[in-house]
A and B are shown apart, each in its own frame.
Chain A
Amino acid sequence: MDISPVFFYLFAGLALGCSLLVVLKKNPVASAFNLVMVFFAFAGIYAMLDAHLIAALQVLVYAGAIMVLFLFVIMLLNADVPSFDLQRSHPGARVVAGLLCAVLLLAFVWAFKNSPSPVEPGQFSASRIEAAGGNTRVVSELLFSEYILPFELTSVLLLGAIVGAVAIAKRKQKVGAGGGVK
């Protein structure tokens, strides 16, 4: 793959380290900041992989919106509870979980290494995308043609999520009777 090993390993190392810290740091705020670092590292890798739009969205949506939401909630709740830094779960469970994840990871790595993609490369080579007006343009065109359905659906999903989040998180309110219909 025509990406620079140096930068890749740099970002990958950063992402790996930070994600480990996300898991291992006791303080949720620390975890959150580490997560932001992971997001940034990912954005870098996206950019190297010619996914420019996604790299931008990664920063905007993930690091910008989602993480802010997280921090906001942490702050919201943290005010009430003194010991927010929770212990990690049972040490035995930790070992087992780590071990199992490691085993799985090994299996996957083995699998990745041993299965070359059997598919011929498609028409969207980097040069052709460039010719067609760049990644963002092509992606946007696809979004409104071939991918119109998922696009519309995500909007429905967002609507639903809003209704749901409102229903669940709003302050307790006086409930009106159903009334009228028996």
Chain B
Amino acid sequence: MIQQVEPWVVLSFCAAIFFIGFAGVLIRRNILVVLMCIELMLNAVNLTFVTFSKELQHLGGQMSVLFIITVAAAESAVGLALVIAMFRTLRGVDTDQIRLLRE
């Protein structure tokens, strides 16, 4: 039984979540889910900060997380507002629908 979790394991876990989120942005057509995946990425970042904060015995990381959470909230608010506006004109939330602007 391992008594300790190595920091790199935690960090790798964060990276995994981060890239799962990123992959979600890449492969999901539903904009709402894309927004969720971005939240996922931000969460991974938060955890990274906290992990480092713990490891370094430095509270800067935790402080950062506080702000990031707030910013994420603001961001989702704006993002969802945009989704609503878009839905009003397009009647849909499919990313493939928004390909008017190209080339």
Q: Direct A–B touching in the complex (beta carbon < 8 Å)?
A: yes
Which residues on the B side are within 8 Å of A4 (C-beta)?
Answer: 5
- Contact digits for B12-55, partner A, Cβ 8 Å, 1 yes 0 no: 11011101111110111110110111011001001100111111
Q: Please determine whether B83 and A143 come into contact, CB atoms closer than 8 angstroms.
A: no
B8 engages A112 (CB within 8 Å): yes
Contacts of B3 in A (CB 8 A): 5
Q: Which residues of chain A are near B23, meaning CB under 8 Å? A: 23, 97-98, 101
Task: Give A23 to B32 CA distance when docked, in angstroms.
Answer: 11
A32, B36: Cβ atoms closer than 8 Å: yes
B39 contact from A62, A93, A101, A146, Cβ within 8 A: A62
How close is B11's CB to chain A, nearest CB, in angstroms?
A: 4
Decide if A109 touches B12 in the complex (CB within 8 Å): yes
Q: Is the interface of B mostly helix, strand, loop or mixed?
A: helix
B59 and A42 within 8 A (CB): no
List of B residues within 8 angstroms of A108 by Cβ: 11-12, 15, 19
Inter-chain contacts of B32 with A (CB < 8 A)? 28, 31, 70, 73-74, 77
Quick one: closest B residue to A115, CB to CB?
B8
Q: Per-position contact with B for A139-166: 1 when CB-CB < 8 Å, else 0? A: 1001100110011001001101110111
Which 4 A-B residue pairings sit nearest by Cβ, starting from the closest? A161-B74, A97-B26, A169-B81, A122-B58
Binding site for B on A (CB under 8 A): 1-5, 8-9, 12, 15-16, 19-20, 22-23, 28, 31-32, 35, 38-39, 42, 45-46, 49-51, 53-54, 57-58, 61-62, 65-66, 69-70, 73-74, 76-77, 80-81, 84-89, 93-94, 97-98, 101-102, 104-105, 108-109, 112-113, 117, 119, 121-126, 129, 135, 138-139, 142-143, 146-147, 150-151, 154, 157-158, 160-162, 164-166, 168-169
Sample of 18 further A-B pairs with CB below 8 A, known A105-B16, A117-B7: A1-B10, A15-B17, A16-B20, A19-B40, A22-B40, A38-B40, A42-B46, A45-B50, A51-B54, A61-B73, A77-B93, A124-B58, A154-B70, A158-B70, A158-B74, A164-B81, A168-B82, A169-B85
> Which B residues are within 8 Å of any A CB, using their own CB?
1-8, 10-13, 15-17, 19-24, 26-30, 32-33, 35-37, 39-40, 43, 46-47, 50-59, 62-63, 65-67, 69-78, 80-85, 87, 91-96
